[in-house]
A and B are shown apart, each in its own frame.
Chain A
Amino acid sequence: MSESILKCENLCFSYEDELSLNNISLDIKRGSIAAILGRNGAGKSTLFLTLNGINIKDKGSVYFNDKLVEYNKKGIAEIRRNIGIVFQDPNDQLFSASVIKDVSFGALNLGLSQDEARKRAEKALKEVEMYDYMERPTHALSYGQKKRVAIAGVLVMEPELIILDEPTAGLDPMGANEILVLLKKINKEKGTTIIIATHEMDIVPLYCDYAYVLDKGSVVMQGSPEEIFCHADELRKYDLRLPRIAHLMEILKKYDNIAVDESIDTISKARRAIKELINGKSN
């Protein structure tokens, strides 16, 4: 499980003479869910577009499954097949007025037959629980439903790695949660590696195994969520914040002198710690 699926070394890309990605090095483990954090304009989207060859990198190397990715026509086609990107706004991604047609697009681009593509598209729609909406016109779907269809449109290509740009943006709490549960399920059942770009900090300790913090086109922090949230001040420097629970723990420790573990970042961990504190006192 710990072998790397995607590795970047010193990846650089400049956009109109402005350095947008500055020596990015990443190592994403197979089967993991990684988070890429950073304020707006930190270079998250640019990074993804550079990875799959839409932006042409200036220098640096990308390894997929320990194999150097050549950014020529064949290499780009292969990397795009292996890395699926779900864009932030599903309206940008869904180009067809028919749900099933849109989902089938990626499958047909893999060179599959019509029948095979239809089967795969139906399967992908079942996976995102949108099978019943197959015949509906795209514009009649809600935002959350469109997001699911967009995910299906990527799943249909059966990529080994899926990158999602702000998967929870614009969704209500319920919808956001459902999308994350869905991603976790895909990750577990199919072993698909997932990268989530977000600035929604509360989801990071719940769903992610590893996190990178991007700022001004460079990786400025990396580590497991606990490790990153131990450095609250550094995070704030990059306009990010702690998960609410971790913030609470920080305040309890700093101002109320309660001995809580600062690495606590989820509700369940906090619950356990509080129970221990209470029980410890009563004993």
Chain B
Amino acid sequence: MLVTDKYAYTSKLAKKDPLAKVIFTFAALFLCLILNSVFVSIFILIFFAGFTIISNPAVSFIKYIKFMLIPFSFLIMGIIPVLITFVKDESIIILIERFNIGITYQSLSASVNLFFRALSAVSITYFLALSTPMVSFFESLYKLKLPKLFISLMELIYRYIFILIDEAEAMYKAQKLRLGYRNFKSSLYCISELAAMLFIRAYKRADFSYQALLSRGYDGEITTISQEYEKAYIFYVLIFFIAGFCITLKAVL
């Protein structure tokens, strides 16, 4: 999430209305999940991969493939149990004869379907992640009238994740320099110390931050100015275009 956020700032769509992008993304996700067709999934996958790569000059094709590989391993792990089942009658291949375990036509088609559906959903999410900085994403949540407290919490968490990571990194280095993590036992000990210290520091820092907020007039609600974004009605048009195309695709094939 932290890496993709860096790339989000370089997208040509970064300054476009985040709400439109969020609605566009969720509409596409909805379509992709509800239509449940391999061809629709493949179309969406190609469309969103292309859209992301074209709209973001910092994300090359290779880079995009690398991003895609992150969920890939999880995906493969998830598909194996679907692919390999108890064979009752027909089968493509029997792997373990004694238990009649193998791959059937049904399981193959189900896993291919699942594979592309998941991958296309990932490509849709990547489109949002690689074109919308988190700050803009929060902005769209405000516009969706979600509870303010909830969004404020998200914003604060997002901001302080970076500080937490920095501190953890510094502590980890300090431990390593003093020969921490040299074997399994020491690793367990070091990681527990690190977690405990991190918790204490977070607690202290929260106290300081609260004081800083108070001295700037905090009264229970974090209010900041809302950013201006370029209007992007094109996304709403795109929703209809994609929906139409996907539904025809599903009907024809």
Tell me, yes or no, whether B214 is within 8 Å of chain A by CB: yes
In the complex, whether A209 has a CB less than 8 A from a CB of chain B is no
In the complex, A100 has a CB within 8 A of chain B:
yes
Q: Which chain A residues numbered 124 to 153 have a C-beta less than 8 Å away from chain B? A: 137-140, 153
Known: A93-B209, A98-B135. A54 touches B223 (CB 8 A): no
CB pair B224 A49 closer than 8 Å: no
CA distance A199 to B234 in the complex (A): 58
- Interface hit among B45-53, B70-78, B152-160: B152-160
- B81 at the A interface (CB under 8 A): no
The interface size of chain B toward A, counting residues with CB under 8 Å, comes to 30
Most chain B beta-carbon neighbours within 10 Å: one of A92, A102, A108 = A92
Q: Which A residues touch B227, using CB under 8 A? A: 98, 100-101
Number of A-B residue pairs with CB-CB distance less than 8 Å in the complex they form:
95
Asked whether, in the complex, the Cβ of A101 is within 8 Å of the Cβ of B135, the reply is yes
CA distance A110 to B219 in the complex (A): 11
Q: Which of B155, B156, B215 contacts A84 (CB 8 A)?
A: B215
A105 touches B208 (CB 8 A): no
Tell me whether A104 and B216 are in contact in the complex, defined as CB-CB below 8 angstroms, given that A89-B208, A137-B135 are known contacts: no
Our pick among A95, A121, A139, A157 for the contact of B213 (Cβ within 8 Å) is: A95
- Shortest beta-carbon distance from A38 to chain B in Å: 19
Alpha-carbon gap, A108 to B212, bound state (A): 15
Residues B128-172 near A (CB distance < 8 A): 133-135, 155-156, 158-159, 162-163
A77 to B215, CA, bound (A): 9
Once the chains bind, are A108 and B219 in contact (CB under 8 Å)? Answer: no
Bound-state CA distance A81–B9 (Å) is: 34
Decide: A101 and B224 in contact? CB cutoff 8 A. yes
Give chain A's interface residues, CB within 8 Å of chain B. Answer: 49, 52, 54, 77, 80-81, 83-85, 87, 89, 91-98, 100-102, 104-106, 108-110, 114, 117-118, 121, 137-140, 153-154, 157
